[in-house]
Amino acid sequence: MSHPLLEIRNLHKSFTLHLIDGREITPVRNVNLSIAAGEHLLIYGRSGMGKTSILKCIYRTYLPTSGQIWFDSHQFGRIDLSRAAESVILSLREREIGFCSQFLRVLPRVSALDTLCEPLYRQGMDRATAQEIGREWLQRLSISPALWQASPLTFSGGEQQRINLGRAFIARPRLLLLDEPTASLDEATKQVVIAMIRAAQSEGAAIISVSHDLAGLGAHTTRQWTFA
């Protein structure tokens, strides 16, 4: 592999279950993996094993219990995401690392176009330019123009999922973390999403997907890792 963009060493994540006698569980135990630009790694494994928790540790939604997550940042050089300051993490999320969770968090009364463009607004891009890019993405995502000014709150599950993915992709992050990107999509929509992921990969993004879709998405990944 060429020089890794991300390198995880001995990652552990434990949770204390305060509501159940303070018991501790450690779903993420001694995880080591790395990924280079232009690669797509698929993490596969039984439900509840800790796959999503790995993505959340990388994105720092979760603070790792121990281990290191080295990221080769454009802005900050090689940096350990498990120890980086909050301000650094926020800046990386704005410019270098995208995350698509399984569920879209929608603000009421905000249109699909603005929901999609929000990562560009946050970068300081002017609204007209951002919306031009946003409209291109809505087209690419096969969202009907009749829905562009509507709130995604009223959208179908598959439409919400596409807006959610678009938000992760629109700022062209160098590292994309995708949690079940093809779940709950019909075949045609799944192909749209797979094409988007492949395009990001060919533009040099490193992608880590957590997915049960070995036959569909899995066929387009460069590596698969069974997490057990």
Ligand X SMILES: Nc1ncnc2c1ncn2[C@@H]1O[C@H](COP(=O)(O)OP(=O)(O)OP(=O)(O)O)[C@@H](O)[C@H]1O
Residues of this chain that bind ligand X (CB under 6 A): 15, 27, 47-53, 210
Minimum CB–partner distance for residue 133 and ligand X (Å)? 31
Kindly tell me which of 36 and 89 has the beta carbon lying closer to ligand X: 89
- What does the radius of gyration of the chain's CA atoms come to, in whole angstroms? 18
DSSP structure class, residue 166: H
Structure tokens at 54: 């790995």
Minimum CB–partner distance for residue 171 and ligand X (Å)? 25
Minimum CB–partner distance for residue 48 and ligand X (Å)? 5
Minimum CB–partner distance for residue 179 and ligand X (Å)? 7
Kindly tell me which of 48 and 145 has the beta carbon lying closer to ligand X: 48
| Rounded Cα distance, 24 and 169, in Å | 35
Kindly tell me which of 51 and 174 has the beta carbon lying closer to ligand X: 51
The single-letter code of the amino acid at 135 is: R
How distant, in Å, are the alpha carbons of 55, 117, 124, 194, 214 from that of 209?
9, 23, 28, 11, 11
Minimum CB–partner distance for residue 210 and ligand X (Å)? 6
The single-letter code of the amino acid at 105 is: R
Concatenate the DSSP letters of all residues of 18-79 into one string: TTTTTEEEEEEEEEEEEEETT-EEEEE--TTSSHHHHHHHHHTSS--SEEEEEEEETTTEEE
Kindly tell me which of 49 and 79 has the beta carbon lying closer to ligand X: 49
7: left (phi over 0), alpha (psi -120 to 50) or beta: beta
Minimum CB–partner distance for residue 193 and ligand X (Å)? 18
Kindly tell me which of 10 and 26 has the beta carbon lying closer to ligand X: 26
Kindly tell me which of 53 and 161 has the beta carbon lying closer to ligand X: 53
Longest dimension (CA), the chain: 54
